[in-house]
Structure 1
């Protein structure tokens, strides 16, 4: 199930681009996966899974940015485990809650590609995680997570720079599969 705040997309007419953010809601899972508990495994899983999708869509690999990670971690810790995007963030952002492991969260975002219409490129709240994930202009990612208890499990926040999902730029920034 995907939940999304009411987007107010803008057009690429301003010096600093505005983007639409989306969130994913997953059923709870009874996992304390090592990929959430170990920082090095968390970071490598984020990069490996993200870059798998980016390579498949002709986008360069992202690097991990600790400033973005600190921002994402702070946001994850401050939301009381609610799927709420950070206010006035300069970053692109993907949120997920209830994942059993990190790879599963990123794959849910990436697998939205099966619903994306590459012939009519544009924003859709059902595929906004995917388009941010493979946005060609994005170069860095940093993520944070918060344990939200037995009922909710893990809350994952990833921040991206430069941000994606800029209205009017989807055709050039989101490529079809090349693999």
Structure 2
């Protein structure tokens, strides 16, 4: 049985990362594509892929620690037992929270925080990473996939939900 965990917090601090290269790979292209497809459904503009965010995400994901890293960015985490999880699995999981979002009482909820970060209109940049891990598993032991995405500017600020989380179109 495949287990999945997701976790998000927009944390403030400072981080710097270097650009690994100017070319995106298939994972990066898919991360941007799936994010922008969902964002369009909620009236949010397209994100730009940021190699600095991706480099920092890759460096942190390689530590195989399923916990937020800290930084002045939004951060969505996804873990799946075994191997083979994709960026689509991660973003689909985060977007599944949309059904629980209360547009009549907009605000942060741990149950919808991944969704709101993905569609947050003020976020303009994205960087994601995936790492196969054999240590640090949130499932106890065994191989697992660690996927995380970072967003700037970060989302999920109280008082800013009505203008940043659109209704599905």
TM-score by length of 1: 0.75
**Equivalent residue for 1:166?**
157
Tell me how many residue pairs correspond in the alignment: 146
Name the counterpart of 2:67.
84
Could you say which residue in structure 1 is the equivalent of 2:78? 96
CA contact (8 A) 2:42 2:165 kept: yes
Contact 2:6 2:78 (C-alpha < 8 Å) held by counterparts:
no
Structure 1 unmatched ranges of 5 or more: 8-18, 22-38
Alpha-carbon distance in structure 2 between the residues aligned to 1:85 and 1:61: 25
Taking the aligned partners of 1:171 and 1:113, their CA distance within structure 2 comes to 14
Aligned to 2:129: 144
3-state SS of the aligned residue for 1:82?
Answer: coil
CA pair 129-152 structure 1, distance change in 2 beyond 3 A: farther
**Larger helix fraction of residues:** 1
What is the CA–CA distance in structure 2 between the aligned matches of 1:166 and 1:72, rounded to whole Å? 22
Match in the other structure for 1:61: 46
- Distance, in Å, in 2 between the alignment partners of 1:3 and 1:48 is 20
For residue 153 of structure 1, report the CA deviation from its aligned partner: 2.2
Q: CA deviation at 1:152?
A: 3.8
Q: Aligned partners of 1:62, 1:172: CA distance in 2, in Å?
A: 17
Conserved 8 A contact 1:2-1:126:
no
Measured in 2, the distance between the counterparts of 1:42 and 1:101 equals 8
Partner Cα separation in structure 1 for residue 5 and residue 145 of structure 2: 16
8 Å contact from structure 1 (residues 96, 155) kept in 2: yes
Q: Which runs of 5+ in 2 are unaligned?
A: 13-23, 135-140
Q: Secondary structure at the match of 2:116?
A: helix
